[in-house]
Amino acid sequence: MTRRVLVGGVGYHHLSDYSLGPLVVARLQAESWPPEVDLRDLSFGQLAFVQEQLAQEGVYRRVVLVGAQARGGPPGAVRCYAWSFRLPPPLEIQARIAEAYTGIISLENLLVIGTHFAIWPPDVRVVEVEPAWETFGEALSPPVAAALPAVVEAVRQAALTGWSA
């Protein structure tokens, strides 16, 4: 029986709004958490993470991923959803694997590649924010900075309670 929960912050360091995931996790790490919750900065090679999960074979019963993902909505918009496990066509999966191997850190790619390699438990929850800035730098854009408290709370809820998206 697997009982652990993973909260993963996906993104880059020093890349403005695309640093949101690691930033949220860093904030959450300052709080006290139940021992079964792992808070992880997922700003490293996504295939490395997938391979690590394959080796561990289902440690988690729930995964919560947080990060910035451009989908064309208003900057700062927060979206919470349960991952659909729907895969794109094989050519696109290939392209996403190639991207992951060549240094791209993307929330969407991680979801797709993880699904392809069947690393996810049935309960995968996503908290994502529409970015405004994609620039080298420490600061979040004003709309994403304004959304940060809501994002932190959404991740906390997703990790600890029933799904309230």
Partner 1 sequence: MCFKNLPIEFDAEGRPRLRPGVVDPYRYQVRSLAEEEERIAALLARNGYIRSVDFDPVTRVAGALAFHAVVDLRERRVLAANAMATLFRGYEVILKGRDPRDAAFISSRACGVCGGVHATCSCLALEMALGVQPPPLGIVVRNLLLALEFLYDHPLHLFLLAGPDYSQALVEPTAPSLWAQAQRTPAPNAHWHGFRTIADIMTALNPLSGTLYLEALHMTRVIREAYVLLGGKYPHPETVIPGGVTTTVSLSTFNEIYSRLLQFIDYAKKAVAIWDDLCDFFYAANPLYRQLGTRPKNLADPGIWDDPEAYDATYAHCTAWGERRWATPGVILNGELVTTSLQAINLGLEEFVEHSYYEPWETYPVRTDPLGAPLSPYHPWNKETKPRPTGQSWRDRYSWATSPRWDRQVVEAECTARMWITAVAQKLPHRRFLEPTGTSLRMALPAGHLPARELEWKVPEVWNAFERNRGRAYCIPYTALVALDNWLYGLDLLKRGETRVHTRFTIPKTGRHIGVGFWGAGRGWLTHHAVIEDGALANYQIITPSTINASPRDPWGNPGPYEEAVLNSPILEEFERTEDFTGIDILRVIRSFDPCMPCTTHVMVEGQDRVLTTEVNTCACGLDD
What residues line the site for partner 1 (CB under 8 A)?
Answer: 15, 18, 44-45, 47-48, 51, 90, 93-95, 97-98, 101-104, 116, 134-137
- Token pair for residue 50? 């997938």
The minimum distance between CB 49 and partner 1, in angstroms, equals 11
Residue pair 41/54 in contact (Cβ under 8 Å)? The answer is: no
Q: Which residue has the tokens 């990060």?
A: 67
The minimum distance between CB 120 and partner 1, in angstroms, equals 17
The minimum distance between CB 10 and partner 1, in angstroms, equals 14
What does the alpha-carbon distance between residue 162 and residue 147 come to, in Å, rounded to a whole number? Answer: 22
* Nearer of residues 143 and 160 to partner 1, judged by Cβ: 143
* Nearer of residues 74 and 90 to partner 1, judged by Cβ: 90
What does the alpha-carbon distance between residue 55 and residue 82 come to, in Å, rounded to a whole number? Answer: 24
CA distances to 96, 133, 146 from 5, rounded to whole Å, are 25, 30, 27
* Nearer of residues 17 and 158 to partner 1, judged by Cβ: 17
* Nearer of residues 27 and 116 to partner 1, judged by Cβ: 116
The minimum distance between CB 102 and partner 1, in angstroms, equals 3
> What angle in degrees, to the nearest 10, is found between the helix axes of 46-56 and 90-101?
110
